[in-house]
Structure 1
Amino acid sequence: MLFPEGIAAQPESLRRSRAAVADQLADVAAVPDGAVIGLIGVGASEHAARSTAWQWRRQGLRAFAVTASDLTSTTRHAFDVVVAISESGRSVETLQAAELLDVTRSLALVNAADSPLAQQCDSVLMIDSGEDSPVYTTGYTATLQALGQLGDHWSGQASPWYELAEQAAAVLDPATTAVEQVAGRFDDAKLVDVVASSAASATAGEGALILREAARLRTAGHETRNYLHGPMEPLDSDIACLVVGDGREVRLARDVARLGCPALLLTTEAVDDAATAVVCRLPRAHSPLAQNVLDILPIQLLAWSVAQRRGLPVDGFRYHQDDTKHEKR
């Protein structure tokens, strides 16, 4: 699947995945009271894990995200239950961590039931999101949704995940219009800062990653409050800012635009004046984790728009590494 096809396929992928995950959750055992849950992954999966841990803690679960590569050299850990996240199920570091960790239970969240990670863990939750693009689109957003459904299951809550696919479909066309207003200036920028709150840490991390992978932009991801404490000091007209959020982020977008920075604000708020920042208003999702799904869509569109300007096909990586994915059998 080509990258733009993957972007467009996400509403249907989310519908399919939500139903598939809902059907499986009845067979996923509850976590013991007070159990510490470790969410592990690398790359896009790690970014998803960070917003998930934040959301799950709000729901009363003792959840923490750790990059899988931190857990590949020791069996010592602080978890009772591990959720190992890998769309392909072949990420070497996540598989190694799952093999090493001595925990009460492990669950693999994957899109391939016959993958090494699925075979290694005690149980499997299949996202069933269908085909994905080389730079992840459908698999990433379906993973976020599935983690949200799993968190509801374990916390005894019920959320309207059925709304998310329609909201995603409603984002794509208006977001394309906003993105085209800034794509040229982002293409020319020496650096792109992606800034979002801790609840949207998945968007800050994955947004910076996907702009690097797809458009080869030089990027950095930042949490909003940390950004105010020093990382914004180099800002000038050569640095573009992609700001995501409804609170302090709105003021930040205004401030960086006044400094002459190309700026795109993704927000659910009705912002009448953001100085010269371009505003892309998004639907308000039912939870911060669901909002991460909607937030990433305009960033995917921006990555594709800049890639087109640069003549990039977005059909895979230039620098293939032979030790990051377990070989397919």
Structure 2
Amino acid sequence: MSYRSTVARQPESLADTLAAAQAELASLDLSPLSSGVMAVTGIGASYAAAVVVAAELQRRGRRAFPVRSGEMMAGYDIADTVLALSHRGRSVETVEALQKLPNAKTLAVTNNPESPLAKTATFHIQLNNGSDATPSSTGYTATLLAAGLAIDAIHGSGGADWASLPELTKDVQGRAAEKMPRLAELFRDRRAIDCVGAGASIGTADGASLLIREAARLPASGYETRHYLHGPMESMDAATGVVIFGDARELALAENLNDIGCPALLVTSNTDISDSGKLTVVHVPASDDLVLRGIIDIFTAQLLAAELSDAAGLTDVKFRYKQSDTKIVDQAS
């Protein structure tokens, strides 16, 4: 399937994953994962998701932190439990991360119960997002959804109305789509794009920057909001662009960028700010549950990546760099 078509079927993908994951979790006893320090790990887009998930665990009072799977391959005893995210379950680094911590209780989230990661973990939850494309869209959001449901299973409900997510997805995608013609014009021919957010939105910013790099081959980087104010934003000007996620200090940042003529996109639940000059605002519903908010916020970035990819003549292009040591080969394929 094409990238745009997989983005468009997000409501169906999330509905299918919701039903499958809830049914599977009903038969799992995840109490061994309820205490101790939890590492949330992944690589690539799965690491971006891990940042969001770890932030929600912290909000619930759990001692948890995100860590790239490559940083766990040394085998140091850094966590009592591990939540491992990998769409296909074949990332070498994530599988080895679990293998190097044999005493930790682990939960893997993948789309294949026969994958190497699923077989390495203590517990497994299967995604049902259907086909995905490059860059990942339904795989990323389905991973977040399943991880959010797992957190609820371990620690109780965090207030998210997961049943309404498919309809909410349609609404937010519709709002974002209305802004794409404006964004396509403002973000045309950028020499670099930064993505910024705080807390869980650091993960969303990281995920957005990866989408832009993969889809449009533009230099893009993710930053934490307060860190961004201490120097990194100084290189941004009328030839660059910034994508911002958040409801607090992010508003003043967006207005500051607009004042100097730098195109900016702000994804926020704060309705006190609106489009002006080179600033474009997409309003999204507020959510206390940070995983739910992470899903909601990424939709605008997915659509922007499609616009930038089309503008660069790279629609549905395949990766140029082929890696031979990052995925465990499926012997059955």
- TM-score bracket, normalised by the shorter chain, equals over 0.9
Greater mean alpha carbon deviation, residues 174-183 or residues 251-260: 174-183
- 2:267 is aligned to 266
- Cα-Cα RMSD: 1.5
- 1:24 is aligned to 24
Partners of 1:11 and 1:273 in 2: CA distance: 27
Preserved contact between residue 21 and residue 125 of structure 1 (Cα < 8 Å): yes
Q: Which amino acid aligns with 1:202?
A: G
Q: Which amino acid aligns with 1:168?
A: T
Partners of 2:63 and 2:85 in 1: CA distance: 17
Give percent identity, aligned residues only: 36
| Within-5 A mapping of 1:132-147 | 132-147=132-147
Report the alpha carbon displacement of residue 110 of structure 1 after superposing the two structures with TM: 0.4
- 2:295 is aligned to 293
User: 1:218–1:104: structure 2 CA closer, same or farther, 3 Å change rule?
Assistant: closer
Preserved contact between residue 11 and residue 165 of structure 1 (Cα < 8 Å): yes
User: 1:247–1:262: structure 2 CA closer, same or farther, 3 Å change rule?
Assistant: same
- 2:106 is aligned to 106
TM-score by length of 1: 0.95
Q: What SS class does the counterpart of residue 4 from structure 2 fall into?
A: helix
Partners of 2:326 and 2:33 in 1: CA distance: 33
Partners of 2:22 and 2:274 in 1: CA distance: 41
Partners of 1:247 and 1:272 in 2: CA distance: 11
- 1:117 is aligned to 117
Q: Which amino acid aligns with 2:30?
A: A
| Within-5 A mapping of 1:209-220 | 209-220=210-221
Report the alpha carbon displacement of residue 32 of structure 1 after superposing the two structures with TM: 5.7
Q: Say whether residues 1:12 and 2:6 are aligned partners.
A: no
Q: Which amino acid aligns with 2:289?
A: S
Report the alpha carbon displacement of residue 224 of structure 1 after superposing the two structures with TM: 0.7
Preserved contact between residue 7 and residue 301 of structure 1 (Cα < 8 Å): yes
Q: Which amino acid aligns with 2:240?
A: I
Partners of 1:130 and 1:214 in 2: CA distance: 20
TM-score by length of 2: 0.94
Q: Say whether residues 1:235 and 2:230 are aligned partners.
A: no
- 2:313 is aligned to 311
Preserved contact between residue 254 and residue 274 of structure 1 (Cα < 8 Å): no
Report the alpha carbon displacement of residue 102 of structure 1 after superposing the two structures with TM: 2.4
How many residue pairs end up in the alignment? 328
Q: Which amino acid aligns with 1:185?
A: L
Greater mean alpha carbon deviation, residues 134-143 or residues 275-284: 275-284
Q: What SS class does the counterpart of residue 198 from structure 1 fall into?
A: coil
- Structure 2: stretches of 5+ with no match in the other structure: none
Q: Which amino acid aligns with 1:142?
A: A
| Within-5 A mapping of 1:1-329 | 1-26=1-26, 27-31=28-32, 34-74=35-75, 76-157=76-157, 159-273=160-274, 275-276=276-277, 277-329=279-331
Partners of 1:281 and 1:322 in 2: CA distance: 42
Q: Which amino acid aligns with 1:81?
A: T
Partners of 2:73 and 2:213 in 1: CA distance: 26
Report the alpha carbon displacement of residue 302 of structure 1 after superposing the two structures with TM: 0.7
Preserved contact between residue 160 and residue 286 of structure 1 (Cα < 8 Å): no
Q: What SS class does the counterpart of residue 233 from structure 1 fall into?
A: helix
Partners of 1:256 and 1:78 in 2: CA distance: 40
Report the alpha carbon displacement of residue 31 of structure 1 after superposing the two structures with TM: 3.4
